[in-house]
């Protein structure tokens, strides 16, 4: 509802800026997991762009793939997919993310849920083995011929993510597999650990998020409240040992940094008002910790964000500022 404040930005400008901040993450992922990361990301992006163009044509809308929204959805969906999945898998996710969740709901600006996470949720429900077991360890380039990876044929021995090891096997197994605390902190921050394609490097994701804050594309309210809630609750309820409840391990593990800076802050599916954004972030953090510690699934960021997306309209309504209006003048007594 008008009046609106115009900042001189365009949808395309915002989308392509966010995409640019994700390129260092993609380059590191290629180094960590091989060229499978690049191929899966390209398949995901091309699938989302093609599905969007076909959907808009079929629904009689102008084709707007140049605005970058489909490209960004493709990158983010690839980033939350394990690097060992078949190359055709993102195509199915693109149909759910773009056609079902976005275009059938009215197009950009009308979707209820984050498109990339809808694609991931459908893939997890439809192909649970691929989405929960297709993890590969970081590549040791000094031990492996380059030619094996140029074709994307990294049929590496599957491994487990840190959260999976911690959730199912405990502290001793995590220390045995990933080293002592100092090694874990360093590798998890840099991104030298198993995980989804774009979620491993917390430092690069943090740097990209800070850049977006400086540019005014996102604000601190959702990312800070999300990460802080996960840190505090995992420290309080993480377990009997200090390490199991170590907040830094939970913050650096899984897709928390990617979700906090790039998924939760989606303009369409997150609250508009700052107070609502803080509550939204706290809700995502609470649900993430609840799923991680008490659920059967070691990671909870995806479903936590999708569940809180449902509450976005309510949060905007609950925290809607009261309209200011001058007091009504006292009624004038009738003169006889």
pLDDT of residue 192: 83
pLDDT of residue 170: 64
pLDDT of residue 303: 93
119 token code pair: 């694609």
Within 8 A by CB and 6+ apart from 250, the residues are: 230, 231, 234, 238, 256, 289, 292
Q: What is the pLDDT of residues 125-160, one digit of tens each?
A: 999 889 888 788 887 666 655 544 444 444 444 566
How many other C-beta atoms lie within 10 A of the C-beta of residue 110? 11
Is 195 a residue whose pLDDT tops 80?
A: yes
pLDDT of residue 159: 61
Q: Phi-psi region for residue 195, left (φ > 0), alpha (ψ -120 to 50) or beta?
A: left
Q: What is the pLDDT of residues 213-259, one digit of tens each?
A: 999 999 999 999 999 999 999 888 866 444 445 788 888 888 899 99
pLDDT of residue 150: 45
pLDDT of residue 177: 72
**305 vs 114: CA distance, rounded Å:** 8
Q: What are the boundaries of each domain within the chain?
A: 10-141+153-159, 162-193+201-318
Q: Which residue has the higher pLDDT, 166 or 83?
A: 83
Q: What is the pLDDT of residues 17-73, one digit of tens each?
A: 999 999 999 999 999 888 999 999 999 999 999 999 999 999 999 998 999 999 999
pLDDT of residue 94: 96
The b-or-e profile of 221-241 (16+ CB within 10 A means b, else e) is bbbbbbbbbbbebbeeebeee
How many other C-beta atoms lie within 10 A of the C-beta of residue 283? 20
Q: Which residue has the higher pLDDT, 106 or 246?
A: 106
Provide the percentage of residues in the chain whose pLDDT is more than 90: 54
Span of 12-16, 188-192, 206-210 with lowest mean pLDDT: 188-192
Q: What is the sign of the dihedral through the CA atoms of 233, 304, 227 and 131?
A: positive
Q: What is the pLDDT of residues 36-49, one digit of tens each?
A: 999 999 999 999 99
Is 105 a residue whose pLDDT tops 50?
A: yes
Q: What is the pLDDT of residues 262-302, one digit of tens each?
A: 999 999 999 999 999 999 999 999 999 999 888 877 788 99
Mean pLDDT computed over 185-189: 84
45 token code pair: 């992006």
How many other C-beta atoms lie within 10 A of the C-beta of residue 94? 27
Is 320 a residue whose pLDDT tops 90?
A: no
pLDDT of residue 5: 67
pLDDT of residue 193: 81
Mean model confidence pLDDT for the chain: 85
pLDDT of residue 246: 75
**6 vs 295: CA distance, rounded Å:** 44
Burial of 246: CB neighbours in 10 Å, binned 0-12, 13-18, 19+: buried
Predicted TM-score of the model (pTM): 0.86
Whether residue 228 contacts residue 48, with contact meaning beta carbons closer than 8 Å, is answered with no
pLDDT of residue 156: 46
Measure CA 69 to chain center. Answer: 15
């Amino acid at each position: 509802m008008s009046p609106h404040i115009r900042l001189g930005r365009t949808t395309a400008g915002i989308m392509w800026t966010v995409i640019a901040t994700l390129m260092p993450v993609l380059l590191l992922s290629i180094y960590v997991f091989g060229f499978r990361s690049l191929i899966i990301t390209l398949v995901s992006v091309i699938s989302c762009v093609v599905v969007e163009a076909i959907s808009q044509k079929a629904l009689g809308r102008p084709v707007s793939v140049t605005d970058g929204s489909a490209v960004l959805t493709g990158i983010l969906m690839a980033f939350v997919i394990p690097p060992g999945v078949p190359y055709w898998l993102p195509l199915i996710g693109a149909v759910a993310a773009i056609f079902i969740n976005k275009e059938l709901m009215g197009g950009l600006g009308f979707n209820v849920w984050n498109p990339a996470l809808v694609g991931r949720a459908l893939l997890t429900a439809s192909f649970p083995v691929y989405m929960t077991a297709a993890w590969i360890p970081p590549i040791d380039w000094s031990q492996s011929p380059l030619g094996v990876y140029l074709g994307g044929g990294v049929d590496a021995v599957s491994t487990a993510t840190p959260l999976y090891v911690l959730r199912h096997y405990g502290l001793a197994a995590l220390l045995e597999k990933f080293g002592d605390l100092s090694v874990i902190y360093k590798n998890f921050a840099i991104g030298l650990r198993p995980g989804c394609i774009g979620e491993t490097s917390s430092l690069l994701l943090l740097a990209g998020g800070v850049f977006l804050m400086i540019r005014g594309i996102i604000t601190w309210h959702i990312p800070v409240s999300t990460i802080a809630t996960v840190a505090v609750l995992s420290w309080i309820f993480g377990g009997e040992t200090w390490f199991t409840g170590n907040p830094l391990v939970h913050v650096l593990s899984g897709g928390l940094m990617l979700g906090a800076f790039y998924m939760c802050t989606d303009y369409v599916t997150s609250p508009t008002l700052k107070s609502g954004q803080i509550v939204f972030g706290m809700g995502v953090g609470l649900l993430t910790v609840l799923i991680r510690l008490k659920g059967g699934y070691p990671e909870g960021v995806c479903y936590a964000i999708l569940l809180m997306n449902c509450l976005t309209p309510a949060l905007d309504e609950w925290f809607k500022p009261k309209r200011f209006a001058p007091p009504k003048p006292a009624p004038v007594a009738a003169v006889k």
